[in-house]
Every structure is written in C-alpha cells, then in structure tokens.
Amino acid sequence: METTKESNGQPDATAVVPVDIEQGLNRALLDYHRDEASTEESERRRPRVGRVPPHVRSLDGGEAYTPKFVSIGPIHHANETLRKHSHGLKIAYLHAIIARRSAEPLEDADVRAALIGYKDGVSALEEKARAFYKEPVTTLGSVAFVEMMVLDGCFLLEHMLNYATGVEEPLLHRTHWAPSQLHSDLIRFENQVPFFVLAELLLLSPLSRDPELEICRTGRRDFLRSLGVHYLLRKDDEDLKKLHSSDDVYHLLHLYSLSLTEARLSRPQGHAGLAARAWRALWKLPIVSLTPVAYLLCSVADDDKDEEEEVTKMPNIPSATDLQRVGIKFKRAPRHPDGGFLDVRMEDGDTLVIPMVNIEQFTAPQLQNLIALEQATPELPDDCSCYAFFMDNLVANPADVALLESEGILKSNLGSHKAVVTYFNKLCKGNKLELEGNYLRTVFEELLDRNRNPMYAWIGTLRKKYFSSPWGIIAMVVTLLVFASTVLQTYF
C-alpha cells in the first residue's frame, strides 16, 4: 500500500490513493453502471423485505419483529429454536399438499416426483426471489434456498386452505398458544416470502385442480388472494371490489395492508334517519341557544392566541380526557366494522367513533409490523402510521386509557394503563408521517377546531356540572322556574 506525502505536517494535495481501494471503487462503480445500462427500468426490482432498522428495533428489543414459532423466508431461517418448533410441522404440511387428490397411499417415487416438480418451478424464480430481499442471502446456496422457498410456501398454502375450509389441524393444535402465535408470526415484516412464489406453487400443486375445492374457487377471480384475505380478515375478498390482484401483491403482510385500506374505503356511509336527527337537534336546542353569550364571554381574550395557532403547523390533537372537556363523546364502532380497525370517524359533529382495539401478546405486534411495511414502502398509503399517530395523541396518560376502556374502545392485558400509554407512545418513534393527505386529516381538523373554540369548554363544564344526572337537570329546571316566577312577581 502506497503512503501519502506530507508538507509542513499537512497532507499533500497530490497524495496518491491506495491502489487496492481505487481499483475496488472503480470496479464497483463500473459494475453498477453496466447493470444499469443493460437493465430496462421496468425490469429493475426493488427489494421488498428487509430487517427493521436498529433504531426502531431497539425500542422493544426487536420482540415485535422477530417470529416466536415459525420462520418464513431467509431472514430468520438460521434460528435453531424456530426450526425445532416448526420444521416437522412444515414437512407434514408439504406432504399433505402432495397427497391431495390421491385415493391410495402414495409411493416414494410419486412423492419424489412431485417435490422435484415444485423445486424446478421455484428454481426458475430463484434470481427474482433473491432480489426480493434487501440483504443478500449469502448463507444459503441455490439448492438450499429453493428448498426453503418450497417448504415455507407449501406450508403457508396448506395452512391458509385448512383455515378457509374449516379443516382441523391436530399437529398445530398440540399446544393452545401455537395457532395464535402462528397467525401473529405470518404477518411480521421480516417473516415473508414473495407472493409470486406462492402463486407458482399453487399452480403446480393439486390445489388448483382439486374438485373438493371447487366451491372455494367458484366465482372468485383470484383464488390465492381469496385465501389470503379470508385468513387475514375473516371475510370474502369479493367485498373488496378494487383490491389488487395477486400479481401486484408483494407478500402476505402487504395483502393485509391493502385489504385494510380497501375495507376502509369501501365502508358504506351511514346516515341517521329524520327522526333521529330531529331528536338530536331538539336535545341540543337549550345549549345552542346559549352559544352567542358563551362565545362573547370566552373568545375575546383568546383572539390573539387563535391567530397565532392558525399560522403554525397543525399541532397534535388533544388527549381523550381533554377532548371530553370540550364536549366530545366517544363511541365504539360496531363489533365487526366494515372498515376494520382503521375505521375512525366523526358523527354528528361531537361523537368520535373508534373500533375496539385489543392490545395483548399476539395482536400488539400487528400494528408495529404494518407500520414497518409502510415506512419501508413509500408508495403505500400511511394509513396504519396515521392511525398510530392518532392513538398516540389520544392516549397521553392512564386517565385516557381508563376513559376509552370504559367506552369499550380499548382492551388490554398488558398489566397496567401506563403500559398501554407506553405501547402507543413507542409506535411512532423513528417513523416519518406526512400529515398532508392522511386519511384522518378531516377528523384531526374537526377536533382541533373544536378544541380551539373556548365556547365548547364552557358548554362542556355546564353539561358536566348541571346536566350530568337527572337530579341536576331537575334542580336546574326548578331554579329557572323560581327565577322566572320571581321576575314576574316583581314586574306585576
């Protein structure tokens, strides 16, 4: 290695770069230039799966992103603990796929021939499958990589089909925690296989020709997508009219994200009946009549503050207890909302409708992995990241958790209200969220406008103090009658 020349203790401008470094840089740059020049833009493949960045993983030690029962794909393939848990189960499911449509016991030659067919089909996709992962898969040779894809892909197909058709899985149900843990593992960002590998295996397997499955395929344009949506959302994908085809789905977690967004967009808009609207208007009439007086009394001193807030960036929304003080009511969405857990909306101007969310061992990682997918895939909408930001704002302290639990919106077995606050606070750390264009922007604006207007705080205090119980309402009515009687007596 050549040394650099120095003049007066300073490096010489004409110093020679070490030859091995210069050659290595030249080689790398030229190789990249040749690849770019020889590859059409439409053929360049962007990696779809990689490890979650350390600064995000460190928030909980990586627990949310690491599978606990079964590894899918190459990232956690070397984990011996996962191999002991699930390798035998994968082999059994691979054999179950091969044995479909077989009226008699298979011969060894039949099993071997079927496996060779699967491996040949996946081998043609090996280069594309390797490029699917951000980190080069250097620990697996060609044969080992193809065999891993066949084993994991067939395991996924057989499990989803059993779930869709109601077939019992005694090997999986040997322990009570295995089914729930498996479902949680299959939607972890680092635990995915390409959807095009699943599509190839489905085409090669007897599943696409099994007459017993005809009822599952009838009327469905995309059988693989139907299996995935039913497994993830427990619903028919025909309800999601604009859902992407299997050719445009990256992996199972991506299908979950697409399904949640499409379910939210496809939710029918409910409209209250005329009688219900008239009753709500009548109930609000006494308070509305006090609006001008309340506004005059409360808004004069805050004019300068409002003008200052209007020119600043949209701030965080208030917490649940703060929103309650300005008259916002909380309501749990229907138990099976058409729009999934993202279906947050305002009703009647003062009611915030939120689907119930259950924070426990198996469901807590779902939102974290959906957010990881969105952060790693800029072309996807930030729906789950926006929902996490909304909940992070809403749940600022244990009192907010208690309020949402009392309304049936939050359910948790994390041990304490403070643990729930910590969970939501960690969701958005290290992630980027664009408030412009997010699907909850209208809800944010309505809540912020209401919070900025001091009239609603005054009305909220009035409601809590005088109209929170029947006795308070009776006392207020009696007081008004006595006051009116005294005025009339004095006048006459």
Q: Which residues contact 92 (CB under 8 A, 6 or more apart)?
A: 171
Higher pLDDT, 279 or 405: 405
- Strand 10-11 and strand 6-7: the pairing is antiparallel
Of the pLDDT bands very low, low, confident and very high (cuts 50, 70, 90), residue 391 is very high
Please give the pLDDT value at position 196: 95
Q: What is the pLDDT of residues 77-117, one digit of tens each?
A: 999 999 998 999 999 999 999 887 666 777 888 899 999 99
Q: Which residues pair with 410 in a beta bridge?
A: 357
Please give the pLDDT value at position 300: 46
- What angle (nearest 5°) sits at the alpha carbon of residue 263, between those of residues 259 and 267? 175
Check whether 460 has a pLDDT greater than 80: no
By C-alpha distance, which of 208, 253, 214 is closest to 231? 253
H or E stretch at 162: helix 142-165
Q: Which residues pair with 329 in a beta bridge?
A: 351
Residues 15-42 have a mean pLDDT of 64
Tokens read off for 335: 């138990």
Please tell me the distance from the alpha carbon of residue 112 to that of residue 117, in angstroms, as a whole number: 9
The pLDDT mean for the chain works out to: 80
DSSP 366-406: HHHHHHHHHHH-TTS--HHHHHHHHHHHH--SHHHHHHHHH
Tell me if residue 305 falls in helix, strand or coil. Answer: helix
Q: Whole-model pTM?
A: 0.80
